Chain A
Amino acid sequence: MLHTELELSEDLLVETPPFRTLSGSQAVLETFISEGVNTVFGYPGGAIMPIYDALYDYNERLEHILVRHEQGAIHAAQGYARASGRIGVVFATSGPGATNLITGLADALIDSTPVVCITGQVFAHLLGTDAFQETDVINITTPVTKWNCQVTEAGDIPAVLAKAFYIARSGRPGPVLVDISKNAQLQQFDYEGHKPCNHIRSYRPKPIVRREYIEQAAALINAAERPFILFGQGVILGNAEREFRSFVEKSGIPAAWTILGLGALPTGHPLNVGMLGMHGNYGPNVLTNQCDVLIAVGMRFDDRVTGRLDKYARQAKVIHLDIDPAEIDKNIKTTVPVWGDCKETLPLLTRLVRPQTYPDWLERFREHDREEQKTVIHGELNPDCATLTMGEVIRLVNEHEGGEAIIVTDVGQHQMVANRYARFNQSRCNVTSGGLGTMGFALPADIGAKLGAPTRRVIAIAGDGGFQMTIQELGVIQQHGMAVKILILNNQFLGMVRQWQELFHDRRYSFTNITSPDFVQVAAAYGIPGQRVSERKELQNGIKAMFETPGSYLLEVMVGKENNVFPMVPQGCGVADIRLC
């Protein structure tokens, strides 16, 4: 995954005299402002009250979004970070406040999202006494943070927070948690002003680029007959979309994406051949096992992408570009490792590759695409059955938005359908929980994405199951008067699990039929207009109403109960064993 350089907004850097007496809490907020933070997602509680008290005076410089559950705060911060390229910031109190962040931390770690969480902690003298709302937050969050640290002295706050921001955004980004005891929040100390951190001796965010590997990679590419590019979120995290596009266009190599890479190259680009992995496109999966050189850019060969490893691209020489040395050779043995920030490595590689086209090879992708269009895609997007399909809803969203909206998806069938069929003209448009697969992600992440990209249209697409997991965040939309669109694709099942039960468990639908409240009425109770659509003839108008009604809107579409997502690489199978039906 690749490097992100987040710009500090210079107008927010305030001149400070050399010494000022501040409380630890004020130092937290001063550091935020110096680091360019203007939005914080959080929820108050006993151990973080001094920070919230200080926040009262920072109202004009820091917008605080009061969520309804701390999980909502961190998913919102993730959505904010993914849409804006900035760091998402979270406040939570000790004990349950902190433990409610765990899912989001795990999600942000596996999806490399820069997030800084500040948790309150009991007074230092109470640590280890099983005090009220005391948990061992540092040890609980160690496996799910890039770095974490407990602070019990106010004087340590500026340096630790500067380090936290630097670690969260640099190298392969990730979540960082700083736990601050209540006494440190209250304590007064001499604040010397913000000193940004840009070097930690034990931390190498970017490995040095090795020229010889760039040369070897270029030589392999130039000698290839059927090269194939796989790209992931590293391209987006490295702000290297332009460099990537130049590489693709000069080399003429077909390129396919992981779901977090979606949007790094416009979906309509002639060399964009589609989605990889379990529910990806037919051609990219089958032809992975026919290419001669595989060029992986900022992706990590997740098992959902590779299927069975011993049947994955055995014939190919593998070039792997990644900023994280631990990813190289982790799952797939690399012929040429190109470690480094792809913003730097891609232009070096582009310079050395020969301009080329591969018409016959590209035609193979087109053949597979025609096959997939015939057996899967046409029927999904233009169904002739009575019930609505998820795909036709996405088609209408595409037609209305023309690939310009930010689409935030939850997890499950609708996620795969939306990722397969949504059109994106630009980067940072697709926000989804890829690695962790966190149901309940969409609604809070949608709220965060809207705050991160206020001028963009933002739409959450969720299933009936996942939406109920964080449904309480509708309260945030109400309280802050936000303009986010919510599209629920309701199949009255936990659809993806039901699909697996149908295919692999003899149709034993064990606890996957789920009931829902009347979502339109629930939204109405929060002051959000909406409607439910069950008939094809109402669908177009429903989509139109959702997008054209000012402010927020909830559209619930009743889709076929037992529709499946195809193609599919069944678990334990190789990518070439992908099933079209």
Chain B
Amino acid sequence: MKNEYTITVYTENQVGLLNRIAIIFSRRKINIESLNTSPSEVPGIHRFTIVINETEEVVRKLARQMEKQVDVLRAFCNTADEIVWQEMALYKVPTDEIAEKVKVERLLRAFGARAVVIRRDYTVFETSGHREETDRLVQELEPYGLIEFVRSARVAIINASDGFHELLQEFEQREPGEEAAENEFLDQHEEVFAM
């Protein structure tokens, strides 16, 4: 059964790595729903956040393919209930429409939106939240002439994670401890593929 997975990949900061990771998905005709690259909690280490809809087995195989790349430290795969996630969205609407027909205040309150810019001709709102919330605000604003809309990729924090600092120290060891050396997706082998 396909499910939404958020994959967090810790990597070295290397030119070309984005392509190396992206082709792992494109080669298998898997559509990336959302992809974000950013710094991580550890200086010099990059963090990719990738959202896909796939079965657990496929996701595990993908994670192993990613970890196989020389410049990838670790990939973690999580379902929605294992992470805290947000997406940011920007909405540009005509100021006069909004001012006259919709109570700005109501929008701000109901959707937790923030006015980023208010100009004579247009206003830009910002929200961050889950996809359904931004979708609803889009619906709300469409009748009033939504000029531009853009939504960012997902960013996610893993509930159970202690961060990457300690793990990185293990990776830097010549003889790493089990945690760093093991492939987490094999570690749970018995649970996953009990025969």
Residues in chain A within 8 A of chain B (CB atoms): 138-139, 142-143, 146-150, 167, 199-204, 207-208, 317, 324-326, 328-330, 333-335, 337, 339
Contact = CB atoms under 8 A, between A and B. Distances in A.
A139 B16 contact: yes
27 contacts: A139-B19, A142-B20, A143-B27, A147-B70, A148-B16, A149-B16, A199-B174, A201-B73, A201-B168, A201-B171, A202-B70, A202-B72, A202-B171, A203-B70, A207-B181, A208-B176, A208-B181, A325-B64, A326-B64, A329-B189, A330-B61, A333-B193, A333-B195, A334-B193, A335-B195, A337-B189, A339-B183
B67 A329 contact: no
Contacts of A200: 70
Nearest to A330: B61
Contacts of B182: 207-208
Contacts of B185: 325
A146 B181 contact: no
Interface string B114-139: 00000000000000000000000000
B71 interface: yes
A9 to B, nearest CB: 24
A326 B72 CA distance: 14
B12 interface: yes
Contacts of B64: 325-326, 330
B147 to A, nearest CB: 34
Interface in B141-195: 168, 171-172, 174, 176, 178, 180-183, 185-186, 189, 193, 195
B42 to A, nearest CB: 11
B2 interface: no
Nearest to B185: A325
Contact of A201 (B60, B68, B172, B183): B172
B70 A207 contact: no
Given A325-B186, A328-B186, 17 more contacts: A138-B15, A139-B16, A142-B23, A143-B23, A143-B27, A202-B11, A203-B70, A203-B71, A208-B176, A208-B178, A208-B181, A325-B185, A326-B67, A326-B68, A329-B60, A335-B195, A337-B186
Contacts of A146: 70
B65 interface: yes
Interface in B10-63: 11-12, 15-16, 19-20, 23, 27, 60-61
B186 to A, nearest CB: 6
Contacts of A326: 61, 64-65, 67-68
Nearest to A213: B189
A334 B64 CA distance: 15
Contacts of B189: 329, 334, 337
Nearest to A331: B61
Contacts of A337: 186, 189
B181 A317 contact: no
Contacts of B65: 326
Interface size class of B (residues with CB under 8 A): 20 to 34
A309 to B, nearest CB: 13
A207 B178 CA distance: 9
| 10 interchain residue pairs of minimum CB distance | A326-B64, A147-B70, A325-B183, A208-B181, A201-B171, A326-B68, A202-B73, A203-B70, A201-B172, A333-B193
Contacts of A147: 70-71
A204 B181 contact: yes
Interface of B: 11-12, 15-16, 19-20, 23, 27, 60-61, 64-65, 67-68, 70-73, 168, 171-172, 174, 176, 178, 180-183, 185-186, 189, 193, 195
A142 B19 contact: yes
B12 A202 contact: yes
A148 B15 CA distance: 10
A98 to B, nearest CB: 15
Contacts of A143: 23, 27
A324 B16 CA distance: 23
Nearest to B57: A329
Nearest to B10: A202
A330 B63 CA distance: 12
B82 to A, nearest CB: 22
B12 to A, nearest CB: 5
Given A324-B68, A328-B186, A333-B195, A204 B174 contact: no
Nearest to B16: A138
A139 B23 CA distance: 10
A369 B189 CA distance: 37
A139 B19 CA distance: 7
Contacts of B176: 204, 208
Contacts of B20: 142
B195 A207 contact: no
Contacts of A149: 16
A325 B23 contact: no
Contacts of B72: 202
Scoring B65, B70, B174, B185 by chain A CB atoms within 10 A of each residue's CB, the highest score goes to B70
Contact of A325 (B68, B168, B172, B178): B68
Contacts of A203: 70-71
Among the interface residues A167, A199, A324, which one has the most CB atoms of the partner chain B within 10 A? A199
Contacts of A199: 174
Contacts of A317: 195
Nearest to B183: A325
B181 to A, nearest CB: 5
A207 B20 CA distance: 22
Contacts of B67: 325-326
Which of A142, A167, A200 has the most chain B CB atoms inside 10 A of its CB? A142
A25 B176 CA distance: 36
Contacts of A150: 15-16
Nearest to A163: B70
A473 to B, nearest CB: 31
Contacts of B183: 207, 325, 339
A202 B71 contact: yes
Contacts of A335: 195
Contacts of A142: 16, 19-20, 23
Nearest to A202: B73
Contacts of A324: 68
A326 B27 CA distance: 16
Contacts of A339: 183, 186
Nearest to A147: B70
A199 B23 CA distance: 26
A189 to B, nearest CB: 21
A140 to B, nearest CB: 10
A334 B186 CA distance: 11
A138 B16 CA distance: 8
A220 to B, nearest CB: 11
Nearest to A324: B68
B179 to A, nearest CB: 10
Nearest to A143: B23
Contacts of B70: 146-147, 167, 200, 202-203
Contacts of A325: 64, 67-68, 183, 185-186
